[in-house]
């Protein structure tokens, strides 16, 4: 019997991997499909509940694998029905997951779009100056099971089916590449969560080597670049990652990605008053976007306690968007949801953590 400290998360295994592990335990490989049906179709939360499996096998499973039953310690809903979940992991670490409903302005009143913003790390090491996730530093990567379990737990608590996932929660997904791709394969699999790859978006602050590596992966997931500045001067002021991967290097990786994936990128651009929302910033963004097949998603800054940045007025936001529109750059502005529940990444976790 394995120590509980080293039990493998059942949610971190693919069907093939579980079959191999079961064969090593003297069980037929076909049992793996039965186990996965219990987990992802019937959504049981213990091996004891898998009633059509032999009792001896259920004992073996409980001795070899663990369930990632994330503990929801706070659930906040907002006036616009955005909901934020603060989960405690098995080691006591806290992560956040946000459920975002469809925006009628973008998808129509009848849309049933439910987007889940998923975390990939506990904290973040990249230190973007406008983000709450990295204020307390980086603790560790999430394993694939902890990533997958966010989807399962939110669906359980909300009673709603998630049909769109964005890896834009806590952490830099590309810095946890192996666990991220393992989780994506489980979420996408017909025996797993069964979510199409084109409904999965991975966001990065600009890790150029991993962008190229993602381009070489077979899954047709979508990619969003957290740009937030269209010149090295502006970007380095708010995003330290730009020192290692300046815009020229990042854009080369973006071109490589679009050439290999034959799909459009999204540039995420948080508008911060006096930093990157000036007419000259918009003009620089136009020049940059024209180098690659991409659209721009502008997001007015979501104010974070303890940080100095401010949200531009709607007049400044509209003036910025007008420049993009005049240049025929595909662009939308997302009036950020969830102000009343501190929905920006990392805020709820910081409110809950004991003072250091």
Question: Active-site residue 345, yes or no?
Answer: yes
Query: Helices (DSSP H) in 262-313: which residue ranges?
Result: 279-289
Task: Choose the catalytic residue: 63, 96, 160, 268.
Answer: 96
Q: What is the DSSP letter of 54?
A: -
Given a contact cutoff of 8 angstroms between Cβ atoms, the answer to whether 229 and 235 are in contact is yes
Task: Choose the catalytic residue: 117, 128, 254, 345.
Answer: 345
Given a contact cutoff of 8 angstroms between Cβ atoms, the answer to whether 224 and 266 are in contact is yes
Structure tokens at 192: 């797993």
- If you write DSSP's letter for every residue of 154-184 in order, what string do you get? HHHHH-----EEEE-SSS-GGGGHHHHHHHH
Structure tokens at 194: 């069964």
Burial 238-261 (b: 16+ CB within 10 A, else e): bbbbbeebebeebbbbbebbbeeb
Q: Which long-range contacts (CB under 8 A, 24 or more apart) does 181-184 make?
A: 181/217, 181/219, 182/12, 182/14, 182/144, 183/12, 183/144, 183/145, 183/147, 183/148, 184/219, 184/221
50 C-beta neighbours (distance < 10 Å), count? 19
Between CA 170 and CA 346 the distance in angstroms is 6
The residue among 61, 66, 17, 69 whose CA lies nearest residue 43 is: 69
Return the active site residues: 96, 345
């Amino acid at each position: 019997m394995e120590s509980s400290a080293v039990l493998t998360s059942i949610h971190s295994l693919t069907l093939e991997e579980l079959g191999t592990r079961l064969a090593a335990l003297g069980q037929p490989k076909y049992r793996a499909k039965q186990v996965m049906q219990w987990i992802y179709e019937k959504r049981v939360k213990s091996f004891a509940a898998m009633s059509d499996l032999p009792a001896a096998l259920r004992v073996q499973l409980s001795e070899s694998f663990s369930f990632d039953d994330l503990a929801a310690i706070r659930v906040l809903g907002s006036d616009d029905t955005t909901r934020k979940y603060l989960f405690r992991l098995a080691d006591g670490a806290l992560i956040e997951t946000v459920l975002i409903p469809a925006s009628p302005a973008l998808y129509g009143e009848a849309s049933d779009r439910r987007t889940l913003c998923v975390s990939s790390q506990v904290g973040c090491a990249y230190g973007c100056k406008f983000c709450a996730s990295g204020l307390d530093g980086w603790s560790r990567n999430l394993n694939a099971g902890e990533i997958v379990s966010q989807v399962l737990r939110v669906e359980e608590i909300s009673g709603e089916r998630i049909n769109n996932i964005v890896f834009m929660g806590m952490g830099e997904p590309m810095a946890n590449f192996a666990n991220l791709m393992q989780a994506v394969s489980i979420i996408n699999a017909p025996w797993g969560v069964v979510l199409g790859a084109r409904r999965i978006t991975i966001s990065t602050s600009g890790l150029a080597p991993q962008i190229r590596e993602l381009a070489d992966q077979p899954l047709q997931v979508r990619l969003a670049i957290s740009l937030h500045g269209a010149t090295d001067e502006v970007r380095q002021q708010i995003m330290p990652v730009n020192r290692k991967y300046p815009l020229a290097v990042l854009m080369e990786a973006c071109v490589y990605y679009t050439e290999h994936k034959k799909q459009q990128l999204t540039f995420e651009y948080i508008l911060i008053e006096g930093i990157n929302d000036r007419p000259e910033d918009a003009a620089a963004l136009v020049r940059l976007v024209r180098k690659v097949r991409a659209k721009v998603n502008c997001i007015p800054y979501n104010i974070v306690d303890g940080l100095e940045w401010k949200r531009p007025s709607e007049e400044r936001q509209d003036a910025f968007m007008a420049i993009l529109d005049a240049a025929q750059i595909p662009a939308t502005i997302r009036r950020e949801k969830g102000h009343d529940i501190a929905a920006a990444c990392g805020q709820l976790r910081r409110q809950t953590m004991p003072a250091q």
